[in-house]
Amino acid sequence: MRNHQAAGPAVPPSFNPRWPLLLILLLSFWLMVSSGLEKSPVVDEPAHIHRGLAYWLTGATHFRLGHPVVGHGLAAAPAILEPDLQFPTETDAWEEGNWSVTGSLFMFEMGNPWHRLLFLARLTGMWFALLLAALVFRWALDLGLGSGLALIATALVALDPNIIAHGRLVTNDVPAAFCYLAALYGGYHFLTRDKNWGIVWCGVALGIGLSIKFTSAVIVPVLALQGLWVAWQKRSVRPVLGLIGSGLISWVVIWAVFGFAFRPLPGGVFWDELFWQLNYLGGTHGVYLNGEISQGGWATYFLIALLVKTPLPTLLLFAAGMVAMITLTIQRKLPSSWMYLLLPLLIYLGFTQASAINIGYRYLLSIVPFMVLLGLVMIAQVWPSAKPLAYPNFRAALWVILLLLAGQAARFWPDYLPFFNFLVGGPSGGGAVLSDSNIDWGQDLQAVASWQQQAKEPVYLSYFGTMHPSIYGLDFISLPTWPAGPEQRPPLRQPFVPSDPAPGWYAISLTNLHGAVLGGQADFFDVFKEMEPVERIGESIYLFHIEFEDPQVDVAFGNVVPYEIAPSLMAQISSNNRKIRWFDPAAGAVYAPDGLFLFVPEQVATAYPSQWEMNLMATQDGVQLWELPAGQQPFADLAVARDMGAAEMIEPEITLSEGVMSVITRWRVKQDTQQTLKIFVHALDRENQIIGQSDILTFDSSSWRPGDIFTQQHGFDILQEPVGVRIGLYDAATGEQLGEPWVMALNGSGDGS
C-alpha cells in the first residue's frame, strides 16, 4: 500500500481564513453563553463546582465523584476570587465526603452567589470547546486540506449542537475531548514528521487528560498501536521510545497536579479516585434505550446514540468518507493519515462498547473531530477539486456551507442538550430513544418556573435534577424522583396515586417518565406514557393536565403510602379529586365534617374513640379502607374550647398512673396553615415548673382543612405528682407559640389563663 499525503493548494493572498475562523468561534461562544443563561444547573454541576472550589480554597480532596479533582478545579478556577464563600465544613456530609449533599448546601443554602458561580465555572468548558475547534482547524491544515475545508471542519465541530450543549456545562466531557485530540495531535507530529516537540505536547495533554477524566486512558492503546506500526515500517525503536517518553511526561504532569503526593502511591488521591471509580463501574446502573430499561446496559447503546444524536452533516460526511476510504484502499491510494484518524475513532468506540455506563452521547464527544477530519481527508483524496475552496470561484460554496451549519446551530437555540437529528424526527422524537444526559439532565427547571409565572397554576413536579425548585419560586407538590433530588416529600406524605392521578398540572422530567433512575418505581408514571403532553418544556420536561371531573372527597392516609395501595382498593372511593390528610392512626384520630375515607394498615390498632361511627369497606394487601359518614358530632363539649389561632382545643382527657401522665388532646381546625405545628403538653408543679412534657403532633398540619376534628395522644414520665398542666400549639420551625395556652389544675377546674 502506497502512502499519499494530501497536499493543499497555495492560497491566494487575498483570502485570509482567520476572519471566518474568528467568526465561527465567536458564534459558537455566543451560542454557548446565551443559551447557558437560559438553563438551570444540570445534575452534576453543583457538586462539581463545590468540589472544585473546595479543592482550591480548603484543600479538600475526599469527595469521590469518579473523576480526578483536577477537572473540577479547572472549572472552578474563574470563581476562586469570589469573596466570602461559605463551605459546609461543619456538617456530617462534609466529613463523609457526601458530594451530593455538600454541593447542594454550598450552592443553594449558604448564601453563596450560585448564579455567578455557575456562570464563571461554565466559562471553563466554553474555552475548552473553542480550543477543541481551533485545534481541529490547525490539524486540518496540517493534513493538507486547505483553509476552505479546514474552516468547514472547524464549523462542523464548533457549531455541533452536542458540543455547544456540553461545552457550556461544568462537566469533564469537553475538556477530556480536547485532551484526547491534543495528545493524538502531538503523537501525529512526532510519528509522521519527527517533531520532538510532539513528544512533550503529547505527554502534557495525556497527563492533563488523565487528571481530568479516566477515559483519557484510551489514548494509551491508540498511541501504542500507532507507534508500533511506525516502528515496524521504519525498522526503528525511536517511535516507541519517544512515546514511552510521552508516557513518562504524562505521569510527571499527573504527579505534579496532585502536589507530588506519595500516598497511597505516587500521585496520591489520583489512585483513591481511580479505585473508587473501578468499584463504581462494577455496580449496576439503570439505563433506558428504545422503551426498555436495563441494569447492565446494551452493547449497541453508543452506536445507536451516535446514529441519532450526531448532526446529519457530520454523519453524511463520515459515511461519504468511509466509502471514499474503501475506494482508495481498493485503488491502493490510501493516504498514510488514515491510521491517525481512524484508530482513535475505532478504539474509543470499542472502549464504549465494553462499558455498562450507558448514560449519554457526551461520552462520544471525543470522536467527533476524528469523524470530521477522516471524512474530509478521504473525500479530498478522491475528489481533489474539493480542496481549493478558498479560491474565488469556490468561496460562495464555502460561505453557503458555513451559513447552513450556523443556521443548524441557531435552529435549536437554546435547547441543545436534547438535540437529535432528523433520522428520529429531531428532539421531539428523540425522547422515545434515549434518556438521561442525552435529553433531560435537569436543565429546564427555570423554564417550568417561567411557564408557571404565566399560567398561574400550581404543579405536581417530578424533577430529575439537583436544583432546588423553591429557588425559582415554584408553587409545587413534589412527586417521587431519583434519590439525590432535592426538596422531596417523605414517602408517607406522597400524594401521587399512579393508577388514578389527582386533577391538576403535572410537570415530569422525561428521565423520570422513562423510569430507569427510579429503581423499583420504574413504572411509576406509566399512566402518563399513554398521554400526549400539553407541552414539552425545553423537550426535557413534559407537561400534562388531568381534568377536574370527579366530585371532591375527603381522604386520610394513616401511615400508608398511597402509591402502594392496590388500585382496586383505591378505586372504591370513586374519585381522584382527593382532599388528603396525613396522620398516625396509632397516635390519634381524624374526622372531616363532610365524611371521610380512611386508609390504615390492617395490623395497626387505631386510636379512634369507640363512639365514632366507622364502617369497614374493604381490606386488601394489608390495608384497610374505612368510611366515616358525614354529620357526626364526635365530641359533646365543642362549646368548651380555647382559640389558638390555626385551631382551637377542646377540653383534654388526662390520666395519671405510676409516674406516667397520659393526655388526649382534642382539636377543631379553624384555618389552613403551611406551618409545621406541634402540640406541647407541660406537667407543672406548684411553682409552675415543668416536671414532664410532650412535644408532638402526628397529624400533618399542612394537610389540615377548616372544620376538621382530630385527637392526639401524649404520654410521658413525670418527676413528681403534678398539680397542673399547660397545653398549646407552636411553630416547630421558629418556636413561635400560637395563641394563649390552656392552663388547668388537675382537680379538674381549668383556670382559663
What's the grid cell of residue 353?
Answer: 462498547
The residue among 546, 569, 596 that closes a domain is 546
| Mean pLDDT on 195-201 | 91
pLDDT tens figures, 45-59: 999 999 999 999 988
Specify whether 166 is located in the same domain as 303.
Answer: yes
SS3 assignment, position 488: coil
Q: Is 174 inside any structural domain?
A: yes
Structural contact between residues 148 and 387, judged by C-beta atoms closer than 8 angstroms: yes
Structural contact between residues 560 and 604, judged by C-beta atoms closer than 8 angstroms: no
Question: What are residue 477's phi and psi, to 5 degrees?
Answer: -115, 120
pLDDT for residue 24: 95
pLDDT tens figures, 449-501: 999 999 999 999 999 999 999 999 999 999 988 877 788 888 888 888 888 89
pLDDT for residue 8: 44
Structural contact between residues 54 and 63, judged by C-beta atoms closer than 8 angstroms: yes
Measured distance CA(252)–CA(240) in Å, rounded: 19
Query: Domain count of the chain?
Result: 4
What percent of the chain is predicted at pLDDT more than 90? 61
Q: Is 750 inside any structural domain?
A: no
pLDDT tens figures, 510-554: 999 999 888 878 888 999 998 999 999 999 999 999 988 778 899
pLDDT band of 69, cuts 50, 70, 90: confident
pLDDT tens figures, 670-698: 999 989 999 999 999 999 999 999 999 99
Q: Is 28 inside any structural domain?
A: no
Specify whether 530 is located in the same domain as 557.
Answer: no
Does the pLDDT at position 753 exceed 60?
no
Specify whether 738 is located in the same domain as 681.
Answer: yes
Specify whether 497 is located in the same domain as 565.
Answer: no
More confident residue, 162 or 563: 162
Specify whether 390 is located in the same domain as 295.
Answer: yes
Measured distance CA(400)–CA(313) in Å, rounded: 13
Host domain of residue 465: 440-546
Q: Indicate the helix (H) or strand (E) that contains 581.
A: strand 578-583
In one-letter notation, the amino acid at residue 80 is: I
Specify whether 374 is located in the same domain as 262.
Answer: yes
Q: Is 363 inside any structural domain?
A: yes
What contacts 293, CB < 8 A, 6 or more positions away? 286, 287, 514, 515, 516, 522
Q: Is 427 inside any structural domain?
A: no
Specify whether 238 is located in the same domain as 307.
Answer: yes
Domain containing residue 645: CATH number: 2.60.40.770
3-state helix, strand, coil in the chain (%, to 5): 45, 15, 35
Quick one: 61 exposed, middle or buried, by C-beta within 10 A (0-12, 13-18, 19+)? buried
The secondary structure of residue 667, as a DSSP letter, is E
pLDDT tens figures, 571-613: 998 888 999 999 999 999 999 999 999 999 998 889 998 888 9
Measured distance CA(458)–CA(58) in Å, rounded: 41
Nearest Cα neighbor of 624 from 633, 615, 612 is 615
Q: Is 237 inside any structural domain?
A: yes
| Mean pLDDT on 55-81 | 86
Q: Is 99 inside any structural domain?
A: no
Measured distance CA(491)–CA(445) in Å, rounded: 23
What contacts 302, CB < 8 A, 6 or more positions away? 349, 352, 353, 358, 361, 363, 364
What's the grid cell of residue 136?
Answer: 481541529
Structural contact between residues 683 and 725, judged by C-beta atoms closer than 8 angstroms: yes
Specify whether 159 is located in the same domain as 183.
Answer: yes
The residue among 526, 546, 566 that closes a domain is 546
pLDDT tens figures, 120-130: 999 999 999 99
What contacts 448, CB < 8 A, 6 or more positions away? 459, 461, 463, 469, 472, 474, 507, 537, 541
pLDDT for residue 749: 40
Does the pLDDT at position 750 exceed 60?
no
Does the pLDDT at position 357 exceed 90?
no
pLDDT tens figures, 365-393: 999 999 999 999 998 888 776 555 555 55
HSE of 248, CA atoms in CB hemisphere, 13 A: 7
The residue among 498, 517, 546 that closes a domain is 546
Of the candidate ranges 48-62, 301-315, 607-621, 739-753, the one whose mean pLDDT is the lowest: 739-753
Specify whether 588 is located in the same domain as 663.
Answer: no
Specify whether 310 is located in the same domain as 279.
Answer: yes
pLDDT for residue 6: 44
SS3 assignment, position 15: coil
Specify whether 623 is located in the same domain as 661.
Answer: no
Q: Indicate the helix (H) or strand (E) that contains 713.
A: strand 709-717
Specify whether 523 is located in the same domain as 565.
Answer: no
SS3 assignment, position 232: helix
pLDDT, the chain, mean: 88
| Mean pLDDT on 563-573 | 91
SS3 assignment, position 593: coil
